[in-house]
Amino acid sequence: MRRRSVRSYPGEVTSQESATALERARAAVTQEDWAAACRLFRAQDRAVLAPDALEAFADALWWTGEPEESIDVRTRAYAAHHAAGDRRAAGAAAWMLYYECRDIGRAAAAGGWLNRARHALAAVPDCLERCYLDWTDAEEAQGEGRHQAALEAAQRMVRTASRHGDPDLLAMARQVQGSTLLAQGHVTEGLALLDDAMCAVTAGELSPLFTGWLYCLGLSQCMAAAELDRAVEWSDASMRWCAAAGGDNPFRGLCRIHRVQVLSLQGDWSRAQTEADKVRLDVAGLLPFDRATIGAAHYETAEIHRRRGDLAAAEEAYTRAHEHGYHPQPGLALLRLAQGRAQEAIAGLRPALAATPATDRLARAGLLAALNEAALATGDVAQAADVADALTALAAEAHDPALLHAMAATARGAVELARPQHPGRLDEAVRLLRQALSHWLTLRVPYQAAQVRMLLAAACQRAGDREGARLELSAAHRVFDGLGAAPDARRAAALLGREPRLPGHLTAREAEVLRLVAAGHSNREIAIKLTISEHTVARHLNNIYAKLDVSSRAAATAYAFTHGLV
């Protein structure tokens, strides 16, 4: 069933002077003027509208963010098709009701409509509308891990759509088949089918509904497969489509959140923040039932706050993401690391990793990279090495593995740097870190590239290459400063010997002691880390308390977080 949003109606008259209100409503649907179509259809007596007019009305209501009314009108269309004995039309309407009910969380109603769709289409096995049932079968089988059954359902969908020459369902069938192959580990074949489907999308060959569906599915698939180049290309195309479609486009929130993720990776944090704000506003207005999308916007906002050093704002945004059903890992764990709470970070990452499917390579890689960092923060080099090995194995499974290989090389290089000093290990650390840096620069992911430069600077310093260390620190500082990553910029500046003026008239050493206090370290631990006596630590603390006008470690810690010293 092609959505009637792109169908031409026989005898249509578009002249407002001579057309009837109903004809104008049909014309508005054809022209994708959904708001006008709703207004004109609402002026009609629903009891006398023909089934195809009811479906067009339901489509317009869906596009304008009125799912409940859309379901009510489409139910009337189904009843009319059923009464007329039109099994194909009744089956298609029932499937759309399944989709709409599922979309707003009415699972029982969705199940009922899916059964009706199966019953209506049982007697017409070779019809185009059976593609919808095959699509559902493929999704259900894939969700249950029955990959061969999912592939067989997708192949049936391809054959049926090809026989009937329907471009919408053929493109969707190839996307379903591609995603099934990706889940089975057949990455090259899966991506080829995904590219084929997206070619039809970007060429403007499909109806609006299928265009939106495929943009969302395609972007989700390539992000999960860590295909960053595809994500950049398709997110740009999706936003152009959303802009051209105007205001009535419930897909714009989903397309925009993918755009936010891409912009954030590329280091364009200001635009990413602006787009995330739009997601929250747009989705709240058009798709109030899609809480996960709003949660994703909060999560991306939290990530930007965390990197910029506004830890309180990041904490609030991660909490809001969780409230909207979006899991806040690994960002929340990295926040805990920034707060000096490495064990809490590890405790949050392990269950998140266990719950993440193997097919979502990018999500698993992000969790593993954070776990590697947390393990190193606790001094558990063996655990960090095991995690780096798991990340390397994950990268080996990827089709175009630059992103995952960058993450794996970074983790392995950090592990080698953390091992007991040995010339061979130091050389291996430098080799891995330079490999990681090359990947990050090729991918145009500046923040992670600058983080690797900091590790390289440490390796160069240990090897006695002070000039190399200075070059890496200078490059990292420029990137951090340009991004607005204040904590990282301060760290690089301090290592370069050009720490900016500190709040509270603290000296660089006092600020260093305060950061360790805020991280939860005892006086003895601070003394060991800074190679000074506990007496000297106590003296620094007395000076810090006096300068900040505080009287306890807790108050000093609060000052450190408030003024961006950690």
pLDDT tens for each residue of 143-182: 887 888 999 999 999 999 999 999 999 999 999 999 888 8
- pLDDT over 70 (residue 12): no
- pLDDT over 50 (residue 7): no
Percentage of the chain surpassing pLDDT 90?
Answer: 47
For residue 104, is it within any domain?
Answer: yes
For residue 28, is it within any domain?
Answer: yes
Q: Rounded to the nearest 10 degrees, how much is the dihedral formed by the CA atoms of 503, 485, 311, 405? A: -150
| Least confident piece of the model among 230-234, 246-250, 304-308 | 246-250
- pLDDT over 50 (residue 288): no
Half-sphere exposure of 229 (CA within 13 A, CB side): 10
Model confidence over 102-147: pLDDT tens digits? 888 889 999 999 999 999 999 898 899 999 999 999 989 988 878 8
Model confidence over 34-60: pLDDT tens digits? 889 999 998 888 888 899 999 999 999
Q: What does 182-222 look like in DSSP terms, one character per residue?
A: HHTT-HHHHHHHHHHHHHHHHTT-S-HHHHHHHHHHHHHHH
Model confidence over 380-411: pLDDT tens digits? 999 999 999 999 998 887 655 678 899 999 99
Compute the distance between CA of residue 332 and CA of residue 151 in angstroms, rounded to an integer: 37
Chain centroid to Cα 566, Å, comes to: 27
Mean pLDDT of 233-241: 86
For residue 546, is it within any domain?
Answer: yes
Domain hosting residue 47, numbered range: 1-124
Does residue 411 contact residue 368 with C-beta atoms inside 8 Å? yes
DSSP structural state of residue 359: T
Name the band, by pLDDT with cuts 50, 70 and 90, for residue 219: confident
Q: Rounded to the nearest 10 degrees, how much is the dihedral formed by the CA atoms of 99, 213, 192, 244? A: 170
pTM for this structure?
A: 0.70
For residue 19, is it within any domain?
Answer: yes
- pLDDT over 50 (residue 13): no
* Whole-number pLDDT of residue 63: 87
For residue 337, is it within any domain?
Answer: no
Name the band, by pLDDT with cuts 50, 70 and 90, for residue 529: confident
Compute the distance between CA of residue 414 and CA of residue 69 in angstroms, rounded to an integer: 56
Could you tell me where the DSSP H helices lie in 225-251?
228-245
Nearest one of 423, 451, 424, 421 to 436, comparing CA atoms: 451
* Whole-number pLDDT of residue 454: 96
Supply the CATH number for residue 559's domain.
1.10.10.10
Name the band, by pLDDT with cuts 50, 70 and 90, for residue 475: very high
**Which has more confidence, 271 or 292?**
271
**Which has more confidence, 377 or 2?**
377
- The dihedral through the CA atoms of 108, 110, 112, 115 has a sign that is negative
Name the band, by pLDDT with cuts 50, 70 and 90, for residue 301: very high
Compute the distance between CA of residue 184 and CA of residue 49 in angstroms, rounded to an integer: 47
Among candidate residues 82, 102, 124, the one where a domain is terminated: 124
Does residue 180 contact residue 150 with C-beta atoms inside 8 Å? yes
Rounded (10°) angle between helices 534-548 and 508-518? 100
Among candidate residues 73, 105, 124, the one where a domain is terminated: 124
Per the listing, tokens 């096995």 go with 125
* Whole-number pLDDT of residue 279: 78
CA-to-CA separations, 177 to 154, 181, 238, 280, 400, in angstroms, rounded = 5, 6, 22, 32, 20
Q: How many domains does the chain divide into?
A: 2
Compute the distance between CA of residue 183 and CA of residue 550 in angstroms, rounded to an integer: 56
**Which has more confidence, 3 or 100?**
100
* Whole-number pLDDT of residue 186: 82
For residue 24, is it within any domain?
Answer: yes
Mean pLDDT of 332-347: 92
Name the band, by pLDDT with cuts 50, 70 and 90, for residue 284: very low
Chain centroid to Cα 44, Å, comes to: 42
* Whole-number pLDDT of residue 14: 41
Q: Which two tokens stand for residue 556?
A: 């000093």
Supply the CATH number for residue 24's domain.
1.25.40.10
Name the band, by pLDDT with cuts 50, 70 and 90, for residue 244: confident
Half-sphere exposure of 372 (CA within 13 A, CB side): 26
Contacts of residue 327, Cβ cutoff 8 Å, sequence gap at least 6: 321, 352, 355
Model confidence over 420-471: pLDDT tens digits? 776 668 889 999 999 999 999 988 899 999 999 999 999 999 888 999 999 9
Percentage of the chain surpassing pLDDT 70?
Answer: 92
Secondary structure in 3-state letters for 417-438: HHCCCCHHHHHHHHHHHHHHHH
DSSP structural state of residue 227: -
- pLDDT over 70 (residue 16): no
* Whole-number pLDDT of residue 1: 39
For residue 2, is it within any domain?
Answer: yes
Phi-psi region of 274 (alpha: psi -120 to 50; beta: other; left: phi over 0): alpha
Among candidate residues 124, 148, 173, the one where a domain is terminated: 124
For residue 74, is it within any domain?
Answer: yes
Rounded (10°) angle between helices 466-483 and 486-496? 150
Question: Both ends of the chain: CA-CA distance in Å?
Answer: 57
Compute the distance between CA of residue 229 and CA of residue 227 in angstroms, rounded to an integer: 6
